[in-house]
Amino acid sequence: MAEDKVVITIGRQYGSGGRDVGKLLAEAMEVPCYDDELLAEASKRSGLCEELFKNHDEKPTSSFLYSLVMDTYSTGYSSAAFSDMPINHKVFLAQFNTIKKLAEEGSCVIVGRCADYALADNPNAIHVFLHADLQKRIVRIAKRRSLTDAKAKDVILKEDKKRASYYNYYTSKKWGDAAGYHLCLDTGVLGIAGTVHMIREFAMYKGKGSDWTTRCCEKCGTVCPPDATFCKKCGAEL
C-alpha cells in the first residue's frame, strides 16, 4: 500500500452527526465517503440484491423465518459454505469483504457497518467513534426529522440499541468502547467542523504521509496547502 493511503472509519451514536462528519471529512480529503453508498457498492460487488442490504442495514439478527424466506432472493456467491449461511450473515460477509476491498483500492471514509472491525489489521486505517450528550442529540434529531423531543429521544435510544446489538453480535467487541478506537470525540462540544479538524490533526500526528502535512481550516475543515494563509473554500484565515 502507498504510504499516504488512509482510511477513516467512523462509528457513531445516533444523532451525533456521523453522516455529516463523514461527508465533510471526505470532501476535505478529496476522497469517497461510504455511508449508505456502501450498501449499493456491496450489492454490486457481491451480486446480492441491494434491497437485502437495506433491510439488514446495521440491524440485530432477524428471525429464522425471515432469513429463510429472504434467502430465496440471494444470488452471486456459489460456494457451498456461503450458500448455507442465513441471509443476514451473507449480507454482513458481503459488506465486510467490500470494506476490505475499498480500503485496498484507495483512501476513503467509511461510516458505520463495523468498518473498524473489518479493517482492524489495516495499518492505514484510523478508527473514530463519535458521541454527544443525549439532549443535544434529541435537539438535532427533533429538528432534522420534525419530531417532538419525546419522540426523538425514543428514536435515538432504539437506534443506538440496534447499532450496539448489531456491532456486538458480529464483532464480539463492545460498541462505543474507547479501547476499540484510535479516537473518541464529542461532537456536541466540538461541532461538525471542529470534529473534522480534530480527526485531520490526529491523522497528521499519526504520521500518515505527506498528504497530512497540509493545513486544515478550523472553520469548515477543508484541507489547504501548507503555505496557505486563507482557506481555499470559505476564505477564513488559517
Residue 81 pLDDT level (bands cut at 50, 70, 90): low
The larger pLDDT score, comparing residue 212 to residue 139, is at 139
pTM of the model: 0.76
Amino acid found at 13: Q
Structure confidence at residue 214 (pLDDT)? 59
Between CA 216 and CA 201 the distance in angstroms is 8
Give the residue among 99, 94, 125 at the shortest CA–CA distance from 112: 99
The stretch 69-86 carries a mean pLDDT of 50
- Give the angle 12-17-20 at the CA atoms, nearest 5°: 115
Structure confidence at residue 41 (pLDDT)? 86
Question: Which residues are paired to 130 by β-bridges?
Answer: 12, 185
CB 131 within 8 A of CB 187: yes
Give the residue among 56, 48, 35, 55 at the shortest CA–CA distance from 99: 35
Between CA 204 and CA 198 the distance in angstroms is 10
Residue 68 pLDDT level (bands cut at 50, 70, 90): very low
Structure confidence at residue 213 (pLDDT)? 53
pLDDT in tens, 141-167: 999 999 999 999 999 999 999 999 989
CB 215 within 8 A of CB 20: no
Q: Please give the domain boundaries of the chain with CATH numbers for all domains.
A: 7-224 (3.40.50.300)
Would you say residue 1 has pLDDT above 50?
no
Residue 114 pLDDT level (bands cut at 50, 70, 90): very high
Backbone angles phi, psi at 84, to 5 degrees: -85, -10
Strand pairing class (125-131; 7-12): parallel
Range in 3-7, 35-39, 84-88, 131-135 the model is least confident about: 84-88
Residue 73 pLDDT level (bands cut at 50, 70, 90): very low
Structure confidence at residue 90 (pLDDT)? 82
CB atoms within 10 A of CB 123: 8
Strand, helix or coil for residue 11: strand
pLDDT in tens, 88-100: 778 888 889 999 9
Q: What proportion of the chain, given as a percentage, has pLDDT over 90?
A: 55
Return the C-alpha cell found at 162.
440496534
CB atoms within 10 A of CB 67: 18
